[in-house]
Amino acid sequence: MSTLPPCPQCGSEFTYEDGANYVCPECAHEWPQAAAVESAEQARVVRDANGTELHDGDTVTVIKDLKVKGSSLVVKVGTKVKNIRLVEGDHDIDCKIDGIGQMGLKSEFVKKV
């Protein structure tokens, strides 16, 4: 059994597919299937080590010494990282750290300031 999204207008769970649209039989509301895919992508939430939601442009602090792969550098505890950018992949955050350069961080090792 496939799981179709509920109607965004009335909340009915009895929606069905009709071509490239979803249709609600209770209120006759129609919406494109592409809109449902976009809303699922927007629902992705990135949280820091304390559970606080992160957004693009936030400032975070590193909570653990992190070794930089392929280098002898270490990102020390308490390093402040400004203007982060959230991305898809195994590392949730793209940022630029002073003295090190461009890096990818996992959200579990930072906290929002």
pLDDT value of position 38: 57
d(CA 63, CA 60) in angstroms, rounded, equals: 9
pLDDT tens across 13-66, in order?
889 999 889 999 999 899 888 765 555 556 678 999 999 999 999 999 999 999
pTM of the model: 0.62
pLDDT tens across 47-56, in order?
999 999 999 9
